[in-house]
Structure 1
Amino acid sequence: MTVLAAYSLTSIPSSPLPLRPNSNLSSSVFHGRRVQCSRRCDLFDLHQDLIPYDVAWSWQKDLVREKKSQIENEGDCTDTLIILQHPSVYTLGTASTHKNLNFDIKYPPFPIYRTERGGEVTFHGPGQLVMYPIMNLRRYKMDLHWYLRTLEEVVIRALSSTFSIQASRLEGLTGVWVGNQKVAALGIRVAHWITYHGLALNVTTDLTPFKWIIPCGIRDRRVGSITGLLREAQSCSAHGTADLHNLDDDSLLHITHMSLIEEFARAFQIEYHHKTISVPILCERKGSCLTKEAQQH
């Protein structure tokens, strides 16, 4: 694994600086550097909530339809970023086959959804931060390879700046890796150059459910988490990791989500406008009117 031997808490404020919502400035400051912001992005920060997968999936598709209509009527649309957690669930991408499931499809340990995102089977569950960007790529770069590499860069920078974890890409494979461990998976869909689905980063996730599938169809590598990496780093270093290792799960999730949001803003040069939504109403409304594509297999 490629983790720096010693960690420093200097990059982790005890009370993380809040992002400035609804700022009228044309730039924002992240990690002491000023970033020019040319795009507005509505931010739904639900990182403390467990949102059922089908609810979030339906919500994304509603947002895509709204943005397509907005583009048709106004020539452009605002972007949206959703960050949340899911209850335990397996999702299958367009390339998924049942041969990568280590259980009887008729009796799955968790609900299964076949989706229109790219990629193979993966697991979502508590302790994993999921980011769903719904963005108009016409205003950035109409290049899916560039978009995927930028999402990976967001995770790589967040791990480096916050935990001194040196993550990287592996040639020919999508996602973010630390040594032989995959810590973040990506799966996207683009409709009329509007993105949805996104990335999932294992923070404090129980990795056991990954043993019941072949994650992303990759047999010769394993899945990792930030918690696991910090634990391994502590065992290899006599000092420097105690404070990080002793963070409770909620604190570790909060710190990680703050870093992801900041690095996302820097990478895409956007300015957040914080939005709120009633989770119970969202679940009630979306859960009661699933689209045909969202029916459970």
Structure 2
Amino acid sequence: MIQCTSPSFVWPWKCSAIVHSQGPMSPKTDFRASDATISHRHNYSLRSCECFDLHNEIVPYNKAWSWQKSMVRKRHTLIEKDEDCSDTLIVLQHPPVYTLGSGSSEEYLNFDKLDAPFDIYRTERGGEVTYHGPGQLVMYPILNLRYHKMDLHWYLRALEEVVIRTLYSAFSIKADRNAGLTGVWVGDCKLAAIGIRVSRWITYHGLALNVTTDLSPFHHIVPCGIRNRRVGNIKGLLNESQFSNGLERSIALQTETVQLLDVTYKSLLKEFSEVFQLALQCKPMSDRELSE
């Protein structure tokens, strides 16, 4: 169940990029929690999830990080009172920034830290250095895995599944996992990075999907510590796809500029709701609400 309007625009192309994989997951792969977990939910109803929508806004990284930590503390307090009745999802964009995982190596920075092109933050997530910037949709799920599945590998694969389904359902892009590497790929091109942190089974941090992102800042780092692989975005893949005539391509690219982020966002919400079996309650948000 999702209480957000679904995208009505139908994209006029079919992008048929197919990747090699270790057994691709079907778009309908069942990632739901076990029956034993679900049985604890009242009348098997979907667990509620507040969705704070900032997908068209640019939020400083340290501000979003502060929000998450505050909400995780609040969730721990609610758990102790047996009042943790809903999950949370924040969707936003960041200004240009590099982030490093807690154990990330600075050897993957191709610049002097004292003369960095953008701000740098060392965070509490896992993984190596990555870039965030406008045109990239970032999802921060703050979930109590006790109500889903207490398995971090399952959680990582579920986040990947959300992106894989989104790319296929919205754009007919066939993406997949890459053996031994976290994230979502089309061939040797990485579209989505995932870095998580879990505190007493409450998740924070999350995933970042390149939609219309400027990819040039990735040239200053070794993204996610993976050499000899590319970073891509949805816009680039769609631009490379084949059109039947010049007019169709022109119309598609003009519409893409206006709607690509919105279409991707709505599809992400739909697939997130289905993969995690959550009823999303979309609402505006304020600093006060997120920090209380």
Question: If the length of structure 2 is used for normalisation, what is the TM-score?
Answer: 0.82
Instruction: Give yes or no for the alignment of 1:42 onto 2:37.
Output: no
**Of 6, 9, 19, which residue of structure 2 is paired with 1:14?**
9
Instruction: Give yes or no for the alignment of 1:67 onto 2:75.
Output: yes
In structure 1, the partner of 2:255 is 247
**Of 249, 264, 283, which residue of structure 2 is paired with 1:275?**
283
Deviations 1:215-266 (A, max 9, x none): 00001100000000001113xx435972443324341000000000000000
Deviations 1:149-188 (A, max 9, x none): 0000000000000100000000100000011100000000
In structure 2, the partner of 1:292 is none
Instruction: Give yes or no for the alignment of 1:190 onto 2:185.
Output: no
Using the aligned pairs only, state the percent identity. Answer: 59
Alignment partners' CA distance in 1, 2:284 and 2:236: 32
In structure 2, the partner of 1:164 is 172
Alignment partners' CA distance in 2, 1:150 and 1:161: 16
Alignment partners' CA distance in 2, 1:187 and 1:149: 12
> Given that residues 7 and 267 in structure 2 are in contact (C-alpha distance below 8 angstroms), is that contact kept between their aligned partners in structure 1?
no
> Given that residues 37 and 270 in structure 1 are in contact (C-alpha distance below 8 angstroms), is that contact kept between their aligned partners in structure 2?
no
> Given that residues 203 and 225 in structure 1 are in contact (C-alpha distance below 8 angstroms), is that contact kept between their aligned partners in structure 2?
yes
Q: CA deviation at 1:75?
A: 5.2
RMSD: 2.5
Paired residue type of 1:194: I
> Given that residues 48 and 85 in structure 2 are in contact (C-alpha distance below 8 angstroms), is that contact kept between their aligned partners in structure 1?
no
**Of 225, 229, 232, which residue of structure 2 is paired with 1:221?**
229
Paired residue type of 2:9: S
Deviations 1:195-232 (A, max 9, x none): 00000000000000000000000011000000000011
Q: CA deviation at 1:273?
A: 1.6
Number of equivalent positions: 255
In structure 2, the partner of 1:238 is 244
In structure 1, the partner of 2:61 is 53
Q: CA deviation at 1:76?
A: 3.0
> Given that residues 68 and 204 in structure 2 are in contact (C-alpha distance below 8 angstroms), is that contact kept between their aligned partners in structure 1?
yes
In structure 2, the partner of 1:293 is none
Question: If the length of structure 1 is used for normalisation, what is the TM-score?
Answer: 0.80
Paired residue type of 1:247: T
Q: CA deviation at 1:78?
A: 1.4
Alignment partners' CA distance in 2, 1:128 and 1:204: 7
Paired residue type of 1:163: F
> Given that residues 155 and 184 in structure 1 are in contact (C-alpha distance below 8 angstroms), is that contact kept between their aligned partners in structure 2?
yes
Deviations 1:75-131 (A, max 9, x none): 534100000000000000023111000000111100000001010000000000000
Instruction: Give yes or no for the alignment of 1:211 onto 2:219.
Output: yes
> Given that residues 183 and 190 in structure 2 are in contact (C-alpha distance below 8 angstroms), is that contact kept between their aligned partners in structure 1?
yes
Alignment partners' CA distance in 2, 1:73 and 1:282: 20
In structure 1, the partner of 2:37 is none
**Of 256, 265, 273, which residue of structure 2 is paired with 1:265?**
273
Alignment partners' CA distance in 2, 1:272 and 1:118: 27
Instruction: Give yes or no for the alignment of 1:134 onto 2:129.
Output: no
Gaps of 5+ in 1: 1-10, 16-34, 287-297
Alignment partners' CA distance in 2, 1:244 and 1:150: 31
> Given that residues 7 and 266 in structure 2 are in contact (C-alpha distance below 8 angstroms), is that contact kept between their aligned partners in structure 1?
no
In structure 2, the partner of 1:152 is 160
Paired residue type of 1:186: I
Q: Check 1:43–1:12 CA distance in 2 against 1; reply closer, same or farther (3 A cut).
A: closer
